[in-house]
C-alpha cells in the first residue's frame, strides 16, 4: 500500500514524544498535535510551582485532549512535579530497604493520584534496574536494591499502584542499567555480564513488571555484550525483538530513553537515532527535554525519509503508532479514578528510619548532651536527577558550616560520597574545632559514612532530622 508523504508524516508523529522549552505550551506543539503528535513529556524545567503546573497541564489538555502526557515521577531523588521543592515520597532504595511491598504500592498510588489530578497519564517509572554496581553514577537510590528478588517484588508493587488509578507505568531501563559505571547521559555504557547472570539478575524485575501488566517498558542506551555486542539496547532488534517481545512476551509499548543523551546520539545526531530506534522495535520515542521546533522537524523529516526509502518498513511504523494509540485509549485522562485519598503511611511516624543504615558512632553521637545541627555539603547531581531540591536544605534543617554554634554536635550530610568528596574535609574541620561529628550519606553508600539514608527527598530528610533531634534553625 502506497502512503503519501502527509500520511507518512502523521504515522511518524504518532510515535514521537518531545519535550519543550518553557513553562507554557508552545504553539508548535499544538500544531503538531493537530497533525497527529502522540505524546509530550514534561521535565523539571517546565515546572515552577503547583499552580503553574496545573495551568500548563490544563492548557495542554485543552489543546490536545488525547495526547499521552508523560513525566519522570519516580518518587525520591527523581521528581518533576516537585522539582523546585523536592519529592514528598521516600524513593525506591529506601522502600526496598523497608521491604514492605504494601508501602511501595501505597507510595506509587499516591504518585499516580497526583499525576492524575494534573491530567498526566504516563509515569516514566519505576526504575527496575538491580543496582549491582555500588559506584553506579546514574541509578543508585533510584533502584529498589542490589538483589533481583527484592527489586522484582517492589517493581511489581509499584506498577500495580500507579496503574490502579488509571496512570500507565513504564518499567526502565531494559535490559538493565544497574551493572554500569558510566552514565548513559554522558557516554555509552557497556555491561559484560554473562547470559546466565543477566537472566537471573537484570531480567527478573522486568519479568515481574510484565507479570504485573506494565503498560510500557523503556530501553537503555547500554551495550549488553552477551545479547548484542555491537549495538545499544535502544537500537538492537536482538534486545527489543528477540528478547523483550519474543522471549519475555511483552506486548505493550516500548519507549526509548531520551534520544538527546550521549549514549544514543553523540555520534549520529538525534534524527538518525530516531530512525535506528524505530527500526529496532521502539514504538514511542522520547526525543529530549528541550526539543525545539526546528529539532523536532529534523527528526520528523529523517523518519519520513527512512520510511519513504524503505529503510524503515512502513509496517513497522504502523505497528508502533498503533500501540501508542492503544495506550492513549487505555489510559485516557478523562477516565482517571482520582476520588478519595491514597492510603499512604504517615512518614512522620518514624517508619522510614527503619530503612536507614546506622553505624556504631551514631549512638554515642545521639547520647552527647549538646544541641544537634546538620551541615549539608553541596553534591553534584547526575543528569537524571537534575537540580532538584534535596536533603536537609530542602527540609529547612541545614545550618551553614560557619554558623555552627559553639559546642554543638554536627551531622555532615552529602551524597555520592566518593573518596574525593568535599564532605570529608568539612567533617575533619568540624572535629578539629571540637564538635562531635558524624557523616551522613543521603545517597547509595560507597563506604565510610556513619549513617546512610538511601535517599535525599524532603520526606527522608525530615525523618533524618527527627531521628537526630535537629530543629529548624531559628
Catalytically annotated residues: 185, 257
Q: How far apart are CA 9 and CA 28, in angstroms?
A: 15
Alpha-carbon torsion angle 355, 130, 152, 77, nearest 10: 50
Q: How far apart are CA 234 and CA 20, in angstroms?
A: 22
**Degrees (nearest 5) of the Cα angle 223, 225, 227?**
100
β-strands 451-452, 357-358 pairing: antiparallel
Give yes or no for a contact between 283 and 274, defined as CB atoms under 8 angstroms apart.
no
Q: Give which of 230, 229, 259, 227 is closest to 240, Cα–Cα.
A: 227
Q: Cell numbers of 18, please?
A: 518531545
How many CB atoms neighbour CB 27 within 10 A? 10
3-state secondary structure 163-208: HCCCCEEEEEEECCCCCCCCCCCCCCCEECCCHHHHHHCCHHHHHH
Cell 495506550 identifies what position? Answer: 327
Q: How far apart are CA 54 and CA 119, in angstroms?
A: 9
Q: Cell numbers of 381, please?
A: 547531581
Cell 525520591 identifies what position? Answer: 76
Q: How far apart are CA 219 and CA 47, in angstroms?
A: 26
Q: How far apart are CA 417 and CA 440, in angstroms?
A: 9
- Rounded to the nearest angstrom, the gap between the alpha carbon of residue 355 and the centroid of all alpha carbons in its chain is 21
Q: How far apart are CA 179 and CA 133, in angstroms?
A: 5
| DSSP sequence for 343-368 | ----GGGTGGGGGSEE-HHHHHHHHS
203-211 helix and 148-163 helix, angle to the nearest 10 degrees: 30
Residue 90 half-sphere exposure toward CB, CA atoms < 13 A: 33
Amino acid at each position: 500500500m502506497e502512503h503519501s508523504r502527509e500520511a507518512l508524516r502523521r504515522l511518524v508523529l504518532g510515535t514521537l514524544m518531545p519535550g519543550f522549552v518553557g513553562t507554557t505550551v508552545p504553539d508548535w506543539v499544538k500544531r503538531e498535535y493537530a497533525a497527529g503528535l502522540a505524546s509530550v513529556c514534561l521535565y523539571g524545567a517546565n515546572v515552577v510551582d503547583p499552580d503553574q503546573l496545573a495551568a500548563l497541564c490544563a492548557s495542554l489538555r485543552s489543546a490536545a485532549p488525547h495526547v499521552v502526557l508523560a513525566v519522570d515521577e519516580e518518587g525520591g531523588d527523581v521528581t518533576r512535579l516537585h522539582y523546585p521543592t523536592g519529592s514528598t515520597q521516600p524513593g525506591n532504595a529506601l522502600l526496598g530497604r523497608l521491604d514492605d511491598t504494601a508501602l511501595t504500592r501505597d507510595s506509587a498510588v499516591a504518585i499516580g493520584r497526583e499525576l492524575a489530578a494534573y491530567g498526566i497519564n504516563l509515569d516514566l517509572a519505576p526504575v527496575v534496574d538491580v543496582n549491582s554496581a555500588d559506584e553506579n553514577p546514574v541509578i543508585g537510590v533510584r533502584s529498589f536494591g542490589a538483589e533481583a528478588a527484592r527489586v522484582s517484588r517492589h517493581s511489581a508493587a509499584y506498577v500495580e499502584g500507579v496503574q490502579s488509578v488509571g496512570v500507565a507505568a513504564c518499567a526502565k531501563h531494559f535490559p538493565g542499567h544497574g551493572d554500569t559505571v558510566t552514565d548513559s547521559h554522558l557516554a555509552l555504557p557497556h555491561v559484560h555480564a554473562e547470559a546466565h547472570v543477566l537472566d537471573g539478575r537484570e531480567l527478573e524485575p522486568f519479568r515481574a513488571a510484565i507479570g504485573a501488566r506494565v503498560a510500557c517498558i523503556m530501553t537503555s542506551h547500554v551495550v549488553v555484550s552477551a545479547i548484542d555486542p555491537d549495538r545499544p539496547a535502544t537500537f538492537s532488534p536482538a534486545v527489543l525483538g528477540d528478547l523483550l517481545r519474543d522471549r519475555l512476551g511483552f506486548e505493550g509499548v516500548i519507549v526509548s530513553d531520551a534520544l538527546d543523551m550521549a549514549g544514543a546520539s553523540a555520534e549520529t545526531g538525534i534524527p538518525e537515532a530516531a530512525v535506528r530506534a524505530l527500526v529496532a522495535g521502539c514504538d514511542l520515542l522520547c526525543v529530549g527535554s528541550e526539543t525545539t521546533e526546528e529539532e523536532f522537524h529534523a527528526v520528523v523529516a529523517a523518519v519520513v525519509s527512512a520510511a519513504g526509502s524503505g529503510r524503515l518498513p512502513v509496517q513497522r511504523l504502523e505497528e508502533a503508532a498503533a500501540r501508542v494509540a492503544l495506550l492513549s485509549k487505555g489510559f485516557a485522562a478523562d477516565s482517571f479514578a482520582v476520588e478519595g485519598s491514597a492510603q499512604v503511611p504517615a512518614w512522620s511516624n518514624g517508619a522510614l528510619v527503619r530503612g536507614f543504615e546506622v553505624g556504631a558512632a551514631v549512638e554515642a553521637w545521639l547520647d552527647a548532651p549538646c544541641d544537634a545541627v546538620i551541615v549539608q555539603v553541596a553534591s553534584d547531581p547526575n543528569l537524571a536527577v537534575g537540580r532538584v531540591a534535596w536533603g536537609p536544605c530542602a527540609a529547612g534543617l541545614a545550618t551553614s558550616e560557619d554558623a555552627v554554634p559553639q559546642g554543638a554536635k554536627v551531622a555532615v550530610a552529602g551524597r555520592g560520597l566518593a573518596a574525593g568528596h568535599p564532605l570529608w574535609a568539612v567533617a575533619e574541620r568540624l572535629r578539629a574545632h571540637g564538635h562531635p561529628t558524624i557523616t551522613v550519606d543521603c545517597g547509595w553508600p560507597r563506604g565510610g559514612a556513619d549513617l546512610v539514608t538511601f535517599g535525599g527527598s524532603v520526606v527522608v530528610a525530615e525523618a533524618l532530622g527527627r531521628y537526630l533531634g535537629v530543629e529548624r534553625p531559628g
